[in-house]
Amino acid sequence: MQNENEMSQFIQYLKDSYQELLTKVTWPSWKELQGSSVLVFVASLLIAGLVFVMDWSFGVNAEESAWKGVIGLVYDLF
C-alpha cells in the first residue's frame, strides 16, 4: 500500500516539475545564449592565458626549457 502511495507522489512530482518547466521557467533566446557562450569562451581563454603567463614567469616545468623563471633566477643568485 505504501509503495503505491510513494509511486503516485513521485508521478505527481514529475507532472508538477514538467508543468513548472513549461510555464514558470524563463528560457534564454537564441541570441542571448550565443552571447553568453561567446562571453564564457573569451573569459576561458583569458584565464588560460593568465595561468600560462604565471606558469611561464615562475618557471613551472623549467627543467625542459632554458627559461627558469623568476624563482630560478633568484636561486641562481645564491
Q: What is the pLDDT along the chain (78 residues), one digit of tens a residue?
A: 567 788 899 999 999 999 999 999 888 999 999 999 999 999 999 999 999 888 877 776 656 666 677 777 777 777
Any idea where the domains of the chain sit in the sequence? 2-77
- Across 14-52, b (16+ Cβ under 10 Å) vs e yields eeeeeeeeeeeeeeeeeeeeeeeeeeeeeeeeeeeeeee
Which pLDDT score is estimated for 61? 65
DSSP 21: H
